[in-house]
Amino acid sequence: MSITENGRKRVAILGGSGFTGAELYRLLRKHPHFEVDFVSSESKAGFPVDKFYIGSIHKKKPGSLKFNKAAELDGHYDAIFSCLPTGSLPKIIQHAAEHTDYIFNVSGDYRIADTDLLNRHYPETLKHDFEGGWHYYIPEFSEINSAVKVVNLPGCMAVATLYTLYPLVAHDLIEGRVVTDAKTGSSGGGKSTTEHHAERSHNFRAYKVHGHRHKPEVEHALTYHLDRSVNLQFSVFSLDLPRGIMATSYSLLKEHVTDVDVKKAFYSAYASKPFLHYFNSGSGSPMIKTVVGTNYAEIGAYVEGRNCVSIATIDNLIKGAAGQAIQAANLYFGFPEEAGLQFEFEGAWP
């Protein structure tokens, strides 16, 4: 272990100049048990970190930490948080793994085990040898696997979709085809997105109707955790918002399954989860505005006859990426799950 002088664990961020890297740095700066000692950016190398992040520009005395290239990573870190673009981590995975106990990865490279699916969606994963092993980890559903080097977090739209389906599949309440539409804010495309503001602003449109790589991830996650398959139609839509996701799943309940059965399934699955807020009947419904700026997910399920509509909302950059990575690291290192994430809604209402 690499304990710093103030007793906190030493961590690094790879890909620190993107939206997710910025959120990780912002959150980890206030974390009681982690201290950031290295932040990489190929384009910002040598630039002071605190002068780059919007959340730091008003500090009277910015810190001395500067961006470095990923290849300059040296020494030992208790954890590395990788926010590199998909396809980048496999190219340096061996080097990074030599300098840490765990890599908490928010990109897609190690989310799927199926070789054919990897070739189709994450081809770089198979081009680079790595013997450290990886584990697909959802804090609310997964067991800790301390034998692997890479702890891979789910995609933002994938995890929101899983929150809508997990109790239904776990309790074997649905049958037939499931249709999910996931609506996402513009930050989900990262800083390199080619979508122009004029196309997105004051608009709502289909982004990818078929073939999105989060579809096989959802199917894989349900099979991996519950050993049950789902016939899923998954489509993604672009919202005129900077951040936030709403995933809506439409499913058919099995005969004799009641509204009470659905309520019990969701309540039993989520009642003890600190960041999952399940709306029971009459208590409201999920919204994007009330989760933006937090690590919370809001979830609701609504039944009419055999038709079930389940909804989940999250902040794609926090619960869908940076916050969930910190949540996972807390659990892996034995810290309270909510450590460093106990902040309330940071925006304004209404």
Burial 194-210 (b: 16+ CB within 10 A, else e): eeeeeebeeeeeebeee
- Joined together, the tokens standing for residue 142 give 């997964």
192: pLDDT strictly greater than 90: no
Q: Could you read off the pLDDT of 282-315 as tens digits, one per residue?
A: 678 999 999 999 999 999 999 999 999 999 999 9
Return the structure tokens found at 126: 């198979």
pLDDT of residue 81: 98
- Residue 348 has what pLDDT? 57
- What is the percent of the chain where pLDDT is above 90? 68
Residues 31-81 have pLDDT tens digits of: 999 999 999 999 999 999 988 887 666 766 667 899 999 999 999 999 999
All domains of the chain in start order, with CATH: 9-132 (3.40.50.720), 156-316 (3.30.360.10)
Q: How far is CA 187 from CA 122, 194, 247, 256, 322, in A?
A: 21, 12, 16, 42, 13
* pLDDT at site 271: 94
**Closest CA relative to residue 122, chosen from 91, 83, 144, 159:** 91
Query: Does residue 347 surpass a pLDDT of 70?
Result: no
With a pLDDT cut of 70, the percent of the chain lying above it is 91
Span 202-247, pLDDT tens digits: 788 888 889 788 899 999 999 989 999 899 999 999 898 889 999 9
Residue positions annotated with a catalytic role: 156
**Longest Cα–Cα distance in the chain:** 64
- Beta-ladder partners of 252: 175, 307
Q: Which position has the higher pLDDT, 145 or 192?
A: 145
Q: What average pLDDT does the structure give for the chain? A: 90
